[in-house]
Structure 1
Amino acid sequence: MLAAGTANQARLAGGPVEGPLFDFAPAANEYLRTHLFGDIFERDNLDWQSRELATLGMLAALPGAEPKLQAHMRMGMNAGLTAGQLHQLPALLAGQVDAGAAGRARDALARHLATQAR
């Protein structure tokens, strides 16, 4: 599962995932690679786009998770979601969750798309 998870994580992130956090706590990244990106993403009960939409909705509902929300906007697009599909998410969240979640999703998508334009 570690090998599959490492490949899945890199595909979703758009490249290898590394940095100071993982240098400081390498066991955390190994857990993420093995369990989340390996065990869970290898299941066939949801496609990757559906998993990312569920993750985006959950992160948008959590104030303070904006950096992760923006990262998952990128991951969602790497999983095959389009900008048009992601533009529909804030409206759905406004009706089903609240205006705060919708605003966080809208802002994260705008920041992500701005980085793509550079």
Structure 2
Amino acid sequence: MAPRLVEQIVEFTFGEIYSRSVLDVKQRQLVTIAALTAQGGCEPQLQVHLNAAIRVGLTEQQVMEALLQCAPYVGIPKTINAVHVARNVFMT
């Protein structure tokens, strides 16, 4: 519906942010997963990034540990929602 918006998001996210070299791709995915968990209501985007986490070599244990680290800071309900999405991703 808004092709220019999608183009700008992709250019900014992948052209300027993801191309930086300080964090590796695994670290970037963990940060992204934590940020989406903290926001809540981002389950579709979280699913995409959990699949990306698998593709870049993160293990289920690493992802679940990252989510556990989120719990005291973002709250139990948001963390449970993220764990539910992660379980669905890892079970497929």
TM-score of Structure 1 vs Structure 2, range by shorter chain: 0.7 to 0.9
Query: What letter matches 1:32 in structure 2?
Result: I
For the 8 Å contact 2:37–2:74, the answer to whether it is kept is no
Question: What TM-score do you get using the length of structure 2 for normalisation?
Answer: 0.84
- Paired residues, number: 92
% identity of equivalent residues: 29
Q: Which runs of 5+ in 2 are unaligned?
A: none
| CA–CA distance in structure 1, aligned partners of residues 61 and 40 of structure 2 | 24
1:79 to partner: Cα distance: 2.2
Uncovered stretches (5+) of structure 1, i.e. residues with no partner: 1-23
CA distance in 2, matches of 1:83, 1:67: 18
Residue in structure 1 matching 2:5, options 3, 6, 28: 28
1:85 corresponding residue in structure 2: 62
Give the CA RMSD over aligned residues. 1.6
Where do 4+ consecutive residues of structure 1 move more than 6 Å? none
Q: Which has the higher contact order (CA 8 A, sep 6+)?
A: 2
| Residue pair 2:71, 2:79 contacting (<8 A) in 1 also | yes
* Matches for 1:31-110 after TM superposition, within 5 Å: 31-110=8-87
